[in-house]
């Protein structure tokens, strides 16, 4: 059994806490916790060090006024279950009497029957394996909403890149994924016109995933795919560097 003295948080736990603290420096930490207190140690084992002396869980206090809204954080993390390395097998989230886990992702959020309903703090447990729990990849949560200024030239630039991207990518629009991708393009145009950088980034990521899943019209379109990837990066670069 590991002793309490000899433990460290998983690196991904440090990462998520750093991101949350950066986004909400004045937040309350009243119900925060990493290593197990007595109450946790009986029923919430990820707060106790694993065999390697690593704690794979953290509690974060719900403090919307202080900048940490657990509803938002849980939504954002749940969307990354199974894709972020730290949110691989073994990872789960608990908030407000509900739980969602990577291992049972298809069931979505389900009722949590634990003694502590987690109504004042949300709980994050990261992946079981070291390659997951010690990942230092950013989560990209609680990113401050930055409104795009109404700069016609910048919007024009973005739209040009988007256009080039789409022309380079000969999508088969008869496939379901192809139709979904074209619909997404419309929403991305709207996003460029009126939404925030974070929303645009999300739309681009979703479009990129759809594009990857879409069969191409012709087999000899590798060059097109490369060009498309280039323009997609340009769109992202413009969004990220300018704001």
Residues in touch with Zn ion (CB under 5 A): 44, 59, 123
Token pair for residue 117?
């309903």
- Residue with Cβ nearer Zn ion (139 or 165): 139
Residue placing its CB nearer to Zn ion in the complex, 59 or 208:
59
For the chain, the 3-state helix, strand and coil shares in percent, each to the nearest 5, are 50, 15, 40
Q: Closer to Zn ion by CB, 15 or 48: give it.
A: 48
CB neighbours of 64 closer than 8 A, spacing ≥ 6? Answer: 71
CB of 89 to Zn ion, least distance (A): 19
CA distance 183 to 12: 35
Q: Which of 135, 143, 146, 148 is nearest to 72 (CA)?
A: 143
Alpha helix positions (H), 101-218: 130-133, 152-168, 176-194, 197-213
Pick 84 or 123: Cβ nearer Zn ion: 123
Nearest approach, Cβ of residue 243 and Zn ion (Å): 35
Distance separating the N- and C-terminal Cα atoms of the chain: 49
Minimal distance, residue 44 CB to Zn ion, in Å: 5
Nearer of residues 45 and 221 to Zn ion, judged by Cβ: 45
CB of 8 to Zn ion, least distance (A): 17
Minimum distance from residue 198 beta carbon to Zn ion (Å): 27
Q: Minimum distance from CB of 22 to Zn ion (Å)?
A: 22
Residue nearest to Zn ion (CB): 123
Whole-angstrom CA distances from 107 to 72, 103, 160 are 20, 10, 40
CA distance 146 to 168: 29
């Amino acid at each position: 059994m590991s002793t309490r003295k000899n433990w460290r948080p998983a690196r991904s736990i440090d990462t998520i806490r750093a991101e949350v603290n950066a986004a909400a420096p004045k937040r309350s930490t009243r119900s925060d916790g990493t290593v197990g207190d007595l109450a946790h140690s009986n029923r919430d084992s990820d707060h106790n060090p694993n065999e390697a002396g690593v704690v794979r869980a953290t509690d974060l206090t719900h403090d919307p006024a202080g900048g940490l809204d657990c509803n938002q954080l849980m939504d954002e993390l749940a969307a990354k279950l199974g894709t972020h390395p730290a949110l691989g097998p073994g990872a789960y989230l608990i908030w407000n009497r509900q739980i969602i886990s990577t291992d049972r992702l298809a069931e979505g959020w389900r009722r949590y029957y634990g003694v502590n309903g987690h109504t004042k703090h949300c709980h994050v447990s990261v992946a079981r394996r070291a390659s997951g729990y010690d990942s230092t990849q950013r989560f990209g949560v609680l990113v401050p909403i930055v409104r795009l200024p109404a700069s016609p030239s910048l919007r024009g630039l973005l739209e040009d890149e988007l256009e080039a991207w789409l022309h380079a990518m000969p999508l088969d629009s008869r496939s379901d994924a192809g139709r979904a991708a074209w619909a997404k393009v419309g929403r991305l145009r709207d996003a460029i016109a009126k939404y925030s950088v974070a929303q645009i980034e999300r739309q681009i990521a979703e479009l990129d995933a759809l594009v990857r899943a879409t069969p191409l019209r012709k087999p000899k379109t590798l060059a097109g795919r490369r060009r498309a990837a280039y323009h997609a990066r340009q769109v992202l670069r413009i969004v990220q560097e300018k704001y």
